[in-house]
Amino acid sequence: MKKTSFKIFVVVCLLSFANAFIGCSKAKVSAVEVSTAENESLPEAAEMSVEKVDLKRFFDEYKVEGCFVLYDKKENKFTRYNSKRCAERFTPASTFKIPNSLIALETGVIKDENEIIKWDGVKRDRAEWNRDHTLDSAFEFSALWFYQELARRVGEKRMKKYVSDFGYGNTDISGGIDQFWLRGNLRISPDEQIQFLRKVYENKLPVADRSVEILKKIMLAESNANYKLFAKTGAGRNGAKRLGWYVGFIERNGNVYYFANNVEAENGNENFMPARIEVAKKILNELGLLEGK
């Protein structure tokens, strides 16, 4: 009887110990789960994307092909016309004056927006190019010779590093230090234009705040009580066709909207040059970003 009692006692003790261990383990697991749940950050709002086929009518009005993309920062929302083309890469043409300005300021080849570079005396097709320019006026009139001179002063090694660090399009600057964004191999898509502009505005590039502030000054195209429009045009070639850009961002009601308009037309299309800007502005008006309160 004594041996049996002792065995029963041992079994009871072992069962009690096991239950206590399991209970403690469960408590620890629960504590870990609660701690993890409390420390998890909430996921960011999902990115939204809307395709607006009806925007085609603005391109048709000017007899051009193209695409348009807008990013609403506050809503984390993209609005596109012709999404497939928005993802295709094209020569940046004069929209490269945006990163070129930043790189020139960062490397010190020009000190600010007011420094003058003397005209080289070569007469060009656009009369407004045939004079001395500052960074500010050269950006406004898209003076090609001025930005070619900046690029030569920057040099291929530094230019390549900055374009790569910026993650600008395909980052390929082959084709000549003063030609690569025109007739060389550099390519960027409308969607990538938006990505780059966001990095500019949000100071996420490896450049000084001062350089970004100067860039914003020279990019300012329109300003009124309702909004500020910062933008740059571009014109180049896409094979046998003419290629046009109008890219930038809008500050309005405490929000920022980034946009890229891309147009293409046959040679001889007289609507091509105005279409770059006017199609974009008509779409921006349609979306309620340039007019009213």
Catalytic residue numbers, as ranges: 94
Contact 197, 248 (CB under 8 A): yes
Q: Which of 244, 248, 287, 242 is nearest to 263 (CA)?
A: 244
C-alpha distance across the termini of the chain, in Å:
96
Indicate the SS3 state at residue 50: strand
Contact 174, 185 (CB under 8 A): yes
Encoded tokens for 288: 């309620």
Residues near 191 by beta carbon (within 8 Å), at least 6 away in sequence? 69, 86, 87, 260
What distances in angstroms separate CA 84 from CA 118, 233, 240, 263, one per listed residue? 43, 22, 20, 14
**Torsion sign over Cα 207, 208, 211, 214:** positive
Contact 66, 277 (CB under 8 A): no
User: Half-sphere exposure (CA, 13 Å, Cβ side) for 253?
Assistant: 10
